[in-house]
Amino acid sequence: MPLDDQHTYLDLHVHSTDGSDDAGGTVEGYLKWLTAKRKQGFRIDGFVLTEHRNYATDRDYSDLAARYDAVVLRGVEVETDVGHVLVFGATPEFFARFDVGAISLPYREVFRAAREVGGIAVGAHAGRPHIGVVDHVEARNVSLEDVQVIEGLNGGSSDFENARGHDLALSAHLREIGASDSHFVTGLGRCMTRFEGAVRSIDDLVARLRDPHAVYTPVRLEETVEGAHIGERPTVAQLVPFSSRQGDLGGDAIEFDHTVIGREVHAGRVEITREGIAAYCEALEDTNPLYTDEVAAAAGPYKGLVAPPGILQTARMSPPPDPGINFGTSFMAGSRQEYFLPIRPGDAIDGYASVKEVYEKTGRSGRMIFVVRRTRYVNQHGENVAALETSMVHRQTRAVEGDA
């Protein structure tokens, strides 16, 4: 359905590969997806790019937006001492006041500065542990004096977390927006905000959000089809809670050995065997004949058995040089895999590993340090067969209550 002036359905919280390192969706990818969803009868009029701690001043999406008959606006998501905050209508003056790349900006100043420069700040994913404002209200009774709007419906949050945000909005008389928090294209529009009237520019958007009498409401994608009813949102009391709630915010800048960045070492060699492939496939109940059925594989495109692409990520090799991160416990945060050539039984694969980068940000568990390792894999013929990047996050953990 094309844009009209009666209502505007905007996804106010979207991340793209143009500015968020944990996103997989491109801006044009989102627009293609928006077009596909419109054909299915859903209503998505546009979105606001709110990259993490990043606002590149030279981006212009107006041509793309026009080509797809959509609204594409820009804001930014910053990290404060009460969690993440979306800022719409930020000006050069705002960016001059803060280092938006920092991970613990003073929230009151952020909310006030946004308003002073003619914009507005909105508490993002309000009900999420640590990076939403609800936790900080409950634990520290932080003041909401400068807060007018929160994101009470977030597509990346659980039902329980959204109910926490909704409860806060009801008790503190805050307005609520809905947004998907998409990092990948198919997440676009899972949750949105429906505005009365036309919203076509960032000035339109800011004016609506600042106006206490403006009519807007959070909606889910399925509530945008013609004739659908916008349902009541559940409160916490109506849901069974589920949250692991861990960690603490703050701390000094992380120290690590910068000299290891980019230094590649031979990490070891793995022999690819039929037995190893079979064991991997059995654990995953993968019966793909290309991996284990010699006769069938001989008739297939590789004229013989090959290994599942994922097998290299399980190869035990030495780690790259240690940057010496002495912080919390490490978990896998991301993986990027590129495949160039098939891997066959009998191949001897050498791995060459390095640390690509180290950086930090905040998440549900508080402060997080990311270490990105890259390993390239070379077969016995000297050919690059694959490259794997693994992002490990170091974060603090806290035992679940009631346990040792």
Partner 1 sequence: MTTDYLASQRYFEDVETGDEFEVHQHPTTEHVLEFLSSTTNGRSPTGDGRFSSDADARRMGLERPIVPGTMSTAMITRIVTDWMGPQGRIVSLDISFRRPVLHNDELRCLATVIDAGDDALEAGGPAVVKLDVVLENDRGERPVQGTAEVELPRRAE
Q: Which residues inside 134-163 make contact with partner 1, applying CB under 8 A?
A: 156, 158-159
As a whole number of Å, the end-to-end CA separation of the chain is 56
Q: In whole angstroms, how close is the CB of 181 to partner 1 at the nearest point?
A: 10
Amino acid sitting at position 209: L
φ/ψ (deg, to 5) at 122: -130, 130
Binds partner 1 by CB under 8 A, chosen from 273, 314, 380, 384: 314
* Beta carbon nearer to partner 1, 106 or 310: 310
204 binds partner 1 (CB under 8 A): no
Q: In whole angstroms, how close is the CB of 210 to partner 1 at the nearest point?
A: 31
Which helix (H) or strand (E) is 369 found in, with range? strand 366-378
Binds partner 1 by CB under 8 A, chosen from 58, 96, 212, 242: 242
x/- letters, 3..42, toward partner 1 (CB under 8 A)? -------------------x-xx---x--xx--x--xx--
User: Cα angle at 214 between 210 and 218, to 5 degrees?
Assistant: 95
Residues 6+ positions from 378 with CB-CB distance below 8 Å: 349, 350, 351, 352, 384, 385
Q: Check residue 322 and give left, alpha or beta (phi > 0: left; psi -120 to 50: alpha).
A: beta
Whether 18 and 59 have beta carbons less than 8 Å apart is answered as: yes
404 binds partner 1 (CB under 8 A): yes
Burial of 378-394, coded b for 16+ CB within 10 Å and e otherwise, reads bbeeeeebbbbbbbbbb
Whether 205 and 199 have beta carbons less than 8 Å apart is answered as: yes
* Beta carbon nearer to partner 1, 271 or 338: 338
Q: By CB under 8 A, which span of 66-74, 143-151, 178-186, 254-262 interacts with partner 1?
A: 178-186
Q: Which residues inside 251-280 make contact with partner 1, applying CB under 8 A?
A: 276, 279-280
Binds partner 1 by CB under 8 A, chosen from 102, 296, 298, 348: 296
Residues 6+ positions from 371 with CB-CB distance below 8 Å: 323, 325, 330, 355, 357, 358, 391, 392, 394
**Residue with the two structure tokens 């949050």:** 157
Binds partner 1 by CB under 8 A, chosen from 69, 109, 293, 350: 293
Closest Cα to residue 16, out of 62, 47, 57? 47
Q: Which residues inside 37-96 make contact with partner 1, applying CB under 8 A?
A: 39-40
Q: Which residues inside 371-400 make contact with partner 1, applying CB under 8 A?
A: 397-400
* Beta carbon nearer to partner 1, 99 or 340: 340
Q: In whole angstroms, how close is the CB of 81 to partner 1 at the nearest point?
A: 21
Binding residues for partner 1 (CB under 8 A): 22, 24-25, 29, 32-33, 36, 39-40, 156, 158-159, 183-187, 242, 244-247, 276, 279-280, 282-290, 293, 296, 299-301, 308-310, 313-314, 316, 329-339, 364-365, 397-400, 403-404
